[in-house]
Amino acid sequence: MRPGALAVGLFLLLAGTALAADVDGTWTGAVSTPGGDFPVNFTFKADGTTLTGTMLDQDNNQIPIKDGKIDGNNISFTVSVEYGGQEMTLSFKGVVAADQIKLSQEVMGQLFEFTVKKAK
């Protein structure tokens, strides 16, 4: 392999790593629903391509994030919540920017889109 090609390959590898989402920390916002606006609060921790953390429910209980993945600036994860005596799995997908994450969530066929901002 030529030295120039090796240098370009290493640069692209390092650039891809640098472009990975910086999700570590606490993110807050609100989601608008037909029943009103509800606050949302996530704490994320990245470990390579694995996303872990918690979501606060309305009673401030921490619900663990499951199946968390990071792919560049894209994240996805699920949380299991109890609603009306039944357990539901909520799936989230998001795109991370410097100070915000645009998230989408589908619940019973309805798509909810909202933005969370990094807490200071």
What pLDDT is recorded for position 16?
41
Domain total of the chain: 1
What pLDDT is recorded for position 105?
93
Q: What percent of the chain has pLDDT over 90?
A: 57
pLDDT tens column, 59-79: 899 999 999 999 999 999 999
Phi-psi region of 64 (alpha: psi -120 to 50; beta: other; left: phi over 0): beta
Residue 28 covered by a domain: yes
**Residue 64 belongs to domain spanning:** 22-118
Residue 111 covered by a domain: yes
What pLDDT is recorded for position 20?
54
Residue 30 has phi, psi (to 5 degrees) of: -145, 145
What pLDDT is recorded for position 35?
85
CATH code, domain with 102: 2.40.128.120
Residue 15 covered by a domain: no
Residue 95 covered by a domain: yes
